[in-house]
Amino acid sequence: MLPARAMSGVIPLAKRTIPFVLLIAVFYFFTHSGRPYADDVILRFKDSKTVFVDSIIDNDLPGSTSDGSALQELCSSRDWHENRVMSCETGKEGVTSVRQWQLQCIRVAIEAGATTVILPSIVQRKDRYFQRGKRAHAPLTGVAMDYMFDFHHLNDTLGAHCPRIKLATSISDFHDVYSLLGATNFKLGDPVGMDEKSKGAEYILPKPEEWAPKFDTWVEEQQAKAPPTSHLSDPYRLHFMASKVHFPVYHDSAQIRRDLSAALRFRRDARVLASAALYRLVSKYGVNLDPHKATVRTGFAGIHMRLELDVQEGKAKNAPDFAYQASESVKYVSGTGLSLAFLASGGPQEKTASFIEGAREFNLTVLTKDMLLDDKEKAQLRSFSYDQQAIVDYEIMRYATRMVGIGVSTFSSDLALVRADMYSDMPIEDTPEPDSTMMWHDDFTSLIWRIDGVKWSDWVKSWWP
């Protein structure tokens, strides 16, 4: 038995340590018990906004069952070439066009069996002149892909499910590998002899299951033409060029498409701002939004209008004017019974203000991202480029109960497919062709202003959801 003096020192120590030990034990129980309520109990220690934002960020594709297994099966079925390096042409235009090109690059690299992939850099648009397609004073090779995307998430995902591929963001990473300084350019149709310029040329790669062996043969032919100083054991770079021919997205299963799309997230800081705006919609405006699952909710309408200067000056090919977009958007939202809408647009502030004011006459409250962020968040938003700000709009629009957009806009079109994949039980390729005034229509999204002679079923074959 310890002396009384020793006991007098132990008892206070025990009073201090036992609660701490119990807290650790409780924490371990809740985080390792596998009980469904464990996360909810732990999250109560955080404030409600942090919990909400974290939930949005962690559940990138609500309702999806993306676990990487389909991507892993695809990669394990391919033949890989240790010295084959594939780079891709620089991504151009807006965030959704660049997103589609990044996904096309990755998918073709898998089909080609390239064990090293140099991801497309991005041509940075100069905000002041974006409406005229002019570019910033940036390197001709563009800026790294993390300008728009979360490289670390993509790298971790492919590392886990497609481990034969090693990613790089610049050819500069291989400045000391002489054989990679030059490259053999190719377009998707080259190995199978597709002529893009011929009349009635197909723009979707036919029989994609035959492409890989033909590509291997084509690569061997190109290597045979290499200078005598090169060796077959040297790393060999193939440079994938954009063309009118696209990989048939729906040749893959829905699960493969979902796994690839989930791997390529937009940059985290932009997604955090979007989540903060969504939280304001919930906390202040009473929107019913569950970040853990995709359900049809009583919430808000999403409106995307093309109001950039090229539209105002009548220089945008096939784009409708402001008056048409405004009236059709309000008409669509009024038909949904929703009284709250979020507007995504990169147009002049005076046009945005005019639309918001006009919508009030129809008992429709229209909000923009600037109206949903606090001062600190707005300061961060202003530090973003035009395209980076568009990512915030995009991430908010995914969660709209209903959405109306413009059929000639790649931004609207991309969202239509992403939302169909998130919310609809119907396979995207089975979506009925809409009437002659719309490019796309389902229970969740409508795209007004159809281009004559163009059907959604034509472009959707090459468009990743």
Both 210 and 278 in a single domain? no
Query: Among positive and negative, which fits the CA dihedral 105, 111, 117, 118?
Result: negative
3-class state of residue 204 by DSSP = strand
**Contact criterion met (CB below 8 Å) for 64 and 262:** yes
pLDDT reported for residue 281: 95
385: number of Cβ within 10 Å: 16
The bridge status of strand 184-186 relative to strand 166-168 is unpaired
- Secondary structure class of 87 (helix, strand, coil): strand
Structural domain of 11: 4-45
Q: Which two tokens stand for residue 433?
A: 């062709």
Structural domain includes residue 62: no
Residues 368 and 278 in one domain: yes
Please indicate, yes or no, whether residues 254 and 359 belong to a single structural domain of this protein.
Answer: no
| Residues 78 and 197 both lie in one domain | yes
d(CA 402, CA 399): 9
- Is 401 found in the same domain as 293? yes
By the 8 A CB rule, do 251 and 366 touch? no
Q: For residue 60, is it within any domain?
A: no
Kindly state whether residue 54 falls inside one of the protein's structural domains: no
Residues 446 and 402 in one domain: yes
**Residue at 184 is within a domain:** yes
How many domains does the chain contain in total?
3
| The pair of three-digit structure tokens given for residue 361, joined into one six-digit string | 């006459």
CA–CA separation, 404 and 352 (whole Å): 16
Between CA 85 and CA 169 the distance in angstroms is 13
Residues 312 and 455 in one domain: yes
Pairing of strands 365-367, 340-344: parallel
Question: Is 301 strand, coil or helix?
Answer: strand
The domain boundary, picked from 208, 238, 262, lies at 262
**pLDDT at 199 (0 to 100):** 45
Assess if residue 457 is contained within a domain: yes
DSSP H or E segment with residue 448: strand 445-448
- Given 247, 262, 277, the domain boundary residue is 262
Q: Is residue 291 located within the same domain as residue 192?
A: no
Asked if residue 402 lies in contact with residue 333, where contact means CB atoms within 8 angstroms, the answer is yes
- The closest alpha carbon to 343, from 39, 430, 354, belongs to 354
Q: Is residue 51 part of a domain?
A: no
Determine the Cα–Cα distance for residues 297 and 380; give it in Å rounded to an integer.
30
pTM: 0.85
Domain presence at residue 407 = yes
Nearest Cα residue to 125 out of 116, 135, 117: 135
Same domain, 137 and 249: yes
- Domain CATH code at residue 343: 3.40.50.11350
Assess contact for 461 and 246: CB atoms under 8 A: yes
* 137 and 237 inside one domain: yes
Q: Indicate the burial class of 28 (C-beta count within 10 angstroms; 0-12, 13-18, 19 or more).
A: exposed
Domain boundary among 231, 262, 293: 262
* 186 inside domain: yes
pLDDT per residue rounded down to tens, the chain (465 residues) = 445 554 455 455 555 555 554 445 444 444 444 434 444 544 454 578 998 898 888 876 544 557 899 999 999 999 999 999 999 999 888 899 999 999 999 999 999 999 999 999 998 876 544 444 444 444 556 899 999 999 999 999 999 999 999 999 998 888 888 888 889 999 999 988 876 665 444 688 889 999 999 999 999 998 888 765 556 678 999 999 999 889 999 899 989 999 999 999 999 999 999 999 999 999 999 998 877 665 556 789 999 998 776 555 554 567 788 899 999 999 999 999 999 999 998 788 888 999 999 999 999 999 999 999 999 999 999 999 989 999 999 999 999 999 999 988 899 999 999 999 888 878 787 777 777 777 888 899 999 987 766 666 777 788 888
* Residues 404, 311 within the same domain: yes
User: What is the C-alpha separation between 94 and 182, in angstroms, rounded?
Assistant: 29
Judge whether 385 and 138 are in contact, CB under 8 Å. no
Is the domain of 276 the same as that of 149?
A: no
3-state secondary structure of 67: coil
